[in-house]
Amino acid sequence: MYRRESLEIRIEKARQRRTSMFRLTLRRMMRNRNAVLGLGIVTTVSLLAIAAPIIAPKEDSSFQRFRLLPSPTQQDLSNTQERGVIFSLIGNTYSYVRVLVSGESGDVDISKGLDSEHLLGTDHLGRDILSRIVWGAQISLLVGVVSQAIACLIGVPLGAISGYYGGKIDHLVMRLADIMFSFPFLLFAIVMVAVLGDTCVGRAWGGLLLVFLVLGVIGWAPKARLVRASVLSIKEEEYVEAARAMGASNTRIIVSHILPNCLSPIIVHTSLAMASAILVEAALSFFGLGVSPPTVTWGSMLASARQYMRTAPHMFMAPGLAITITVFGFNLLGDGLRDAIDPRLKK
């Protein structure tokens, strides 16, 4: 009788103990208020982006709705031409410049403030700002996710190979990474987008593909370094030697024994790097580079709001806040993840 009972107790204990790493991390994160806030922001923005076609009924993404507009004033035209010159100097924003110069789009503020029909008001062309923010969320998140996916795809294998094999390969990869690090991130992105903007890659998907590629290619270096550092310590672990003694090949050891163990720094870094990718994309769009109209991005919304800053502050408040909140959310999430995955880092 006694044996039976103790067996049942042990089964029950075993069941309760069976908590996975994932659940453990999640539980720890839920105890961290900032992390929960970050997760909440990121989830909300993601849901908005996914549901854009449903919840942004006022406009669609390729908005071209004209309204009866008053003819542009002299002041506005001169503004426009000035900008046109600046942009041609930078290089590749013909379409954007054309829209501005042709004048039919007005450049005259018919924006309205907040009302019941337009929760965040309308912009200088009478477009619903809330709808455009929601559509812009799609682009921002896409840029964050896809560019980081590309960065991981390049950086993780390079870092793993570099750390595992060492020697000449290691030297080569790390010096390449050093070169990447020696460029200012934003400047490098601007130059690359400007130079490649007129190629067929640059025009694909309204410039979106180019932004993905540029941000992805720039982003590989920190990931490679991070992975290399973890691989260097993990490859000395006894279980790696045990796997080798089991007859596992190098590829197998890297893919199934080492990489899963350096997943946590990659996850943390990726969530933080998404924030900076989103920021850089916004900056590119603000300069009129990268994703070209009519695709809505938060950066280009900011750019067009710039000239109406005094008269219609709501026009730049909305995209500006959207960028700030989203980036803030990703940063909180990344910090929270780091604390949750490696609780030793916390005091």
Partner 1 sequence: MSEPILEVQNLRTYFFTEEGVVRAVDGVSLDLRRGETLGLVGESGCGKSVTSLSIMRLIPDPPGKIVGGKIIYKGENLLEKDEEYMRHIRGNEIAMIFQDPMTSLNPVFRVGDQIAEAIQLHQGVGRKEALRRAVEMMKLVRIPLAEQRAREYPHQFSGGMRQRIMIAMALSCNPEILIADEPSTALDVTIQAQILEIMKTLQRERGMSILLITHDLGVIAEMSDRVAVMYAGVIVEYADVKSLFKQPLHPYTRGLLTSIPSLATRSKRLNVIEGTVPSLIDPPPGCRFHPRCPRAMPICSREKPELKEVGENHSVACFLY
Binding site for partner 1 (CB under 8 A): 10-11, 14-15, 17-18, 20-21, 237-239, 241-249, 252, 256-257, 260-261, 263
Query: Is the CB of 70 or the CB of 167 nearer to partner 1?
Result: 167
DSSP 128: B
Nearest approach in angstroms of CB 214 to partner 1 is 34
Query: Is the CB of 41 or the CB of 254 nearer to partner 1?
Result: 254
Nearest approach in angstroms of CB 229 to partner 1 is 18
Query: Is the CB of 78 or the CB of 249 nearer to partner 1?
Result: 249
- In 3D, which of 72, 71, 94, 74 has the Cα closest to residue 84? 94
Query: Is the CB of 6 or the CB of 324 nearer to partner 1?
Result: 6
Asked whether the CA dihedral 125, 317, 205, 44 is positive or negative, the reply is: negative
At residue 289's C-alpha, the angle toward residues 287 and 291, to 5°, is: 125
Nearest approach in angstroms of CB 235 to partner 1 is 10
Nearest approach in angstroms of CB 241 to partner 1 is 7
Give the up-direction half-sphere exposure of residue 163: CA atoms within 13 A in the CB hemisphere: 25
Query: Which H helix or E strand runs over 77?
Result: helix 74-90
Query: Is the CB of 34 or the CB of 261 nearer to partner 1?
Result: 261
Specify the 3-state DSSP secondary structure of 103.
Answer: coil
Nearest approach in angstroms of CB 243 to partner 1 is 7
Specify the 3-state DSSP secondary structure of 24.
Answer: helix
**Number of C-beta neighbours around residue 266 at 10 A:** 18
State the Cα–Cα distance between residues 38 and 238, nearest whole angstrom: 37
Nearest approach in angstroms of CB 157 to partner 1 is 19
Residue carrying the six token digits 């799609």 = 138
Query: What is the greatest pairwise CA distance in the chain?
Result: 97
Q: How far is CA 64 from the centre of its chain?
A: 27
Partnered with residue 122 across adjacent β-strands are 128
Query: Is the CB of 344 or the CB of 347 nearer to partner 1?
Result: 344
State the Cα–Cα distance between residues 60 and 99, nearest whole angstrom: 19
Nearest approach in angstroms of CB 244 to partner 1 is 6
State the Cα–Cα distance between residues 300 and 207, nearest whole angstrom: 13
At residue 338's C-alpha, the angle toward residues 239 and 43, to 5°, is: 120
Burial class (CB in 10 A: 0-12, 13-18, 19+), 154: middle
Query: Is the CB of 260 or the CB of 313 nearer to partner 1?
Result: 260
Residue carrying the six token digits 């062309």 = 125
Nearest approach in angstroms of CB 156 to partner 1 is 16
Query: Is the CB of 40 or the CB of 260 nearer to partner 1?
Result: 260
Q: Can you list the alpha helix ranges (DSSP code H) found in 51-128? A: 52-55, 74-90, 94-102
Query: Is the CB of 133 or the CB of 231 nearer to partner 1?
Result: 231
Nearest approach in angstroms of CB 248 to partner 1 is 6
Nearest approach in angstroms of CB 238 to partner 1 is 4
Query: Is the CB of 257 or the CB of 338 nearer to partner 1?
Result: 257
Specify the 3-state DSSP secondary structure of 63.
Answer: coil
